[in-house]
Amino acid sequence: MLLPIRRFCVLATMAITPFASVGAFAQGGNADQLFEPIRAVLQHPRCQNCHIPGDAPLQYDSGREHGQFVQRGARGKGAVAMECAACHHDENLPTSYGAHAPPGAPNWQLPPPEAKMVFIGLSPRDLCEAIKDKRVTRGRDLNAMLVHVRDDKLVGWSWNPGGERSVPPVSRPAFVTAFEQWLRAGAPCPT
């Protein structure tokens, strides 16, 4: 008689456990799980090549220092006489220009030096805290950050970078949805 009860309990536990974890995720979920798609995009080369701790942007998926000794400049738009817009136009150049032609998107620039918004070398927790810090985001709160990642054309370029550049591992719609879910959950940071 004991064996059937024990078997019932094991089967009941196995049946309930997946639903319990799905329910927990839907109600706020695990901070690590909620933030991971956001981290995966922000720390992909398309984002972190410009969200740098120094003043020389990076290039390619390998994150090499930008050629031509390009520098951030006083406003993040490049040094005088070497502004980003000199090579980076409002859209990608045609494929006939080659796989490594300068990419383009409106308002090509780095964050300004007073608010670099660094994504490189941060733990998931530190990255999470950084994008929540208005001193780092030039005064943007999380709702403004959502608008930025959802609507900004330069951010959107990351998913259409042209040439042989890779795209982030999460689609832009999935990234925006993940950002919205993370906000609804209270923007918890991973441990």
Q: Mind giving me the DSSP string for 18-29?
A: HHHHHHHHHTT-
Which pLDDT does position 2 carry in this prediction?
42
Domain, as residue range, for 68: 30-184
162 in a structural domain: yes
Give residue 16's pLDDT: 34
> Which of 2-11, 20-29, 102-111 reaches the highest mean pLDDT?
102-111
Residue 150 lies in a domain: yes
pLDDT at 29: 57
Overall domain count for the chain: 1
The confidence band for 150, taking pLDDT boundaries of 50, 70 and 90, is very high
Q: What tokens does 186 get?
A: 């209270």
Residue 13 lies in a domain: no
pTM score, two decimals? 0.83
Q: Where are the alpha helices (DSSP H) in 27-141?
A: 31-42, 45-48, 124-132
Choose the weakest-confidence range: 14-18, 27-31, 172-176, 183-187: 14-18
- Which DSSP state fits 64? E
> Does a structural domain hold residue 14?
no
114 in a structural domain: yes
Q: For residue 28, what are its two tokens?
A: 């706020």
SS3 158: coil
| Nearest residue to 52 via CA among 36, 39, 63 | 63
